[in-house]
Amino acid sequence: MTNLALARAFFEIADLMDLNGDNPFRANAYRKAARAIEALPEDIRSVYERGEVRDIPGIGPVLSEKIDEWLHTQRIQYLEELRQAVPSGVVELTKIAGVGSRLARRFYTELGVSSIDQLETACRKRRVRTLKGLGARMEWNILRGIQAWRDRGDQIPLGVALPVARSIQSHLEVLPSVKQVKLAGGVRRRQESVDQLEMVIASPEPLVVLEALSEFAEVREVLETKGSKGSFKLKSGPRLEVLVVAPENFWWSLWKATGSPEHIAHMQALASEQGLPVSNAGIWSSGVGFAPNTEAALYESVGLPYIPPEIREGKGEVQAAAEGRLPKLVELADMRGDLHCHTRWSDGVLTLEEVALAAAAKGYEYVAICDHSQSLTVANGLTAERLRAQARKIRLLNEKLEKVRLLSGIEVDILGDGSLDLPDSVLAERDIVVASIHSGFRQDREQLTARILNAMQNPYVDIIGHPTGRLLGRREPYAIDMEQAIKMAAKTGTVLEINASPDRLDINDVYAAEARSAGVKIAVNTDAHSQIEYDNMHLGIGVARRAWLTTEHVLNAWSWADIQDYLSDR
């Protein structure tokens, strides 16, 4: 937790530096250091006490001093100064789709806007369009973004909610009165964002459990405790809803607390058709209550195979199970590699050797080095010459590696006119080419869609990275026509990415399901910039499972030889 707290402080410094108009390369240095600190396999305090802080990639004398200050005082004076220099309302502006740090700073310095309400007023009074380079369309897009932000309410991304939920779960599991604890609701179904965390706890002493929960450090306020139920407000934002049940009722209660209302209704209807009444207490047969000892046994009692939590949404899964059409969903253990990772050559924190070790630790057969290309200068993007130099090092390293193969790839930028920022002659030399949009988000729907379609028609582009460009809770998807994109991907054989970064989960499960139906293959990639980010693969797998994807649909669940065959057939 020390590492994560310090990393969060460095990330906040970087964001505030951007809003303060500071040098973007200095801000990026803090982000790179934050990723390196997150990735440390031990507590930063131990590294500090051994005098090895400067050995961490990206940590120089300035950042080393900040770490020293934080470890001794739990604060960083520079961060406090930035918080004073940048009003909190200006920081909040960046939560609106299309308003990055540069625009938020302009609104503040040129219009005096320091809150979302003030920005809305400025748009409605047509003041935003008076700024150079902006116009009426920008005002309209901001107003829509503000409405979308308000509609999200207390929703937080799964990547934020899940670690909080698991932390609380681990604390509960050690209580003597607790027999079992499972996550439920939207978190267990792996919804991309949730407004509450739900748990079911097996214990013969509900009052003891609820009392213990109220004392947890993560709890800000006890909203209500009544009987076996408790509602708590967490310091991280969402509510925590818990249900404490007798151990013999645990699995039935967990099932009820997991599925969507539609899924529960479909199951109850099926049970009723079979003459099995359903109540809040369980399923009844011949007047005797049935208490399943697993969820699989519950489904078996009505003649169904086990239905995974991710697809318990009431969208045809009960009927598919009844008809024997339920697919074997892809699992984390099926993944044989990662086709989109970054290294210290651009804005990552790991060396090529360290990436290989991280991939081998995951049991992967291959990992694609896809550093940024030259137009993304703030990320130290690679020129053709640097990319070829990297490829030579990869070849030499592969001669020494036994368990994993490094692939020479690139994340090439799709420029504003739809061209790529490296020539075909360079792309042709790569094992994997990921093409992504990193700029020009304010172009209209036709322009943005055309850029993606043009990239797909390049014979050397294998994968479209984070296709809609969204950042969960911070930036709405850009205005791409995904229906056209999926049709073109089907025509060209281009692979679409599920980017497993907790900030992205892009494409979402809806588009991934549409791609599956169109015969488009998917790559589930972490886009990892540090070692800890390789652990995000499970988030991407959650999206894939919600989209009913199997190993047939997921490219990097295949061997490298099979991937090569598929790409060469394109």
Q: Regarding predicted confidence, which is higher, 548 or 135?
A: 548
Residue 315 has pLDDT above 90, yes or no: yes
CB 396 within 8 A of CB 348: no
User: What confidence tens digit (pLDDT) does each residue in 426-445 have?
Assistant: 999 999 999 999 998 879 99
pTM of the model: 0.81
Q: Which helix (H) or strand (E) holds 42?
A: none
Residue 1 has pLDDT above 60, yes or no: no
Question: What pLDDT is recorded for position 280?
Answer: 65
CATH architecture of 2-152: Orthogonal Bundle (1.10)
Most distant CA atoms of the chain, gap in Å: 77
Q: Tokens standing for 326?
A: 């339920």
Phi, psi (degrees; rounded to nearest 5) at 226:
-145, 115
Residue 328 has pLDDT above 70, yes or no: yes
Of 498, 410, 424, 499, the C-alpha closest to 454 is 424
Residue 290 has pLDDT above 80, yes or no: no
Q: Residues near 167 by Cβ (< 8 Å), separated by ≥ 6?
A: 218
CATH architecture of 332-569: Alpha-Beta Barrel (3.20)
For the ranges 58-72, 246-260, 281-295, the lowest mean pLDDT is seen at 281-295
Mean per-residue pLDDT, 268-296: 77
Residue 286 has pLDDT above 70, yes or no: no
Looking at the DSSP assignment, which residues form a beta bridge with residue 283?
Answer: 278, 290
Q: Cα–Cα distances in Å, from 34 out to 58, 76, 532?
A: 9, 14, 11
DSSP-derived 3-state class of residue 305:
coil
Strands (E), 61-218: 156-157, 180-184, 193-194, 196-202
Question: What pLDDT is recorded for position 57?
Answer: 82
Q: Residues near 421 by Cβ (< 8 Å), separated by ≥ 6?
A: 373, 374, 375, 412, 413, 415
563/556 Cα distance (integer angstroms): 8
Question: What pLDDT is recorded for position 281?
Answer: 63
User: What confidence tens digit (pLDDT) does each residue in 11-65 have?
Assistant: 889 989 988 888 888 898 998 888 888 777 778 888 888 888 888 888 888 898 9
Q: Tokens standing for 108?
A: 């503040």
Residue 156 has pLDDT above 90, yes or no: no
Q: Regarding predicted confidence, which is higher, 540 or 157?
A: 540
Question: What pLDDT is recorded for position 569?
Answer: 84
DSSP-derived letter for residue 477 is P
370/342 Cα distance (integer angstroms): 6
Q: CATH 1.10.150.110: which residues of the chain?
A: 2-152
pLDDT tier for residue 153 given thresholds of 50, 70 and 90:
low
- The alpha carbon of 56 is separated from its chain's Cα centroid by a whole number of angstroms, namely 25
DSSP-derived 3-state class of residue 183:
strand
Question: What pLDDT is recorded for position 356?
Answer: 97
DSSP conformation letters of 320-343:
HHHTT-------GGG--EEEEE--
Question: What pLDDT is recorded for position 285?
Answer: 60
Average pLDDT over the chain reads 91
Mean per-residue pLDDT, 487-499: 98
Q: Regarding predicted confidence, which is higher, 87 or 97?
A: 87
Q: Quick one: 27 exposed, middle or buried, by C-beta within 10 A (0-12, 13-18, 19+)? A: buried
Residue 422 has pLDDT above 70, yes or no: yes
CATH architecture of 156-250: 2-Layer Sandwich (3.30)
CB environment 114-131: b (16+ within 10 A), e (fewer): bebebbbebbeeebbeee
Of 350, 298, 303, the C-alpha closest to 326 is 303
- Rg (Cα) of the chain, in Å, rounded? 25
End-to-end CA distance of the chain: 46
Helices assigned H by DSSP within 174-314: 185-188, 206-214, 250-258, 261-273, 295-301
pLDDT tier for residue 288 given thresholds of 50, 70 and 90:
low
Residue 538 has pLDDT above 80, yes or no: yes
Question: What pLDDT is recorded for position 414?
Answer: 98
Query: The dihedral of CA 177, 182, 503, 526: what is its sign?
Result: positive
Q: CATH 3.30.460.10: which residues of the chain?
A: 156-250
CB 231 within 8 A of CB 241: yes
Identity of the residue numbered 61: P
Mean per-residue pLDDT, 283-306: 82
318/263 Cα distance (integer angstroms): 7
Looking at the DSSP assignment, which residues form a beta bridge with residue 204?
Answer: none
495/556 Cα distance (integer angstroms): 11
Looking at the DSSP assignment, which residues form a beta bridge with residue 554?
Answer: 522
CB atoms within 10 A of CB 459: 12
CB 521 within 8 A of CB 492: no
274/184 Cα distance (integer angstroms): 27
Q: Tokens standing for 461?
A: 């582009």
Query: Residue 380: left if φ>0, alpha if ψ -120 to 50, beta else—which one?
Result: left
Q: CATH 3.20.20.140: which residues of the chain?
A: 332-569
63-71: list long-range contacts, CB under 8 Å, 24+ apart.
Answer: 63/10, 63/29, 63/30, 63/33, 66/10, 67/6, 70/6, 70/9, 71/6, 71/44, 71/45
pLDDT tier for residue 71 given thresholds of 50, 70 and 90:
confident
68/66 Cα distance (integer angstroms): 5
Looking at domain 259-322, what is its CATH homologous superfamily?
DNA polymerase, thumb domain (3.30.210.10)
Q: Regarding predicted confidence, which is higher, 286 or 188?
A: 188
Residue corresponding to tokens 């993007």: 381
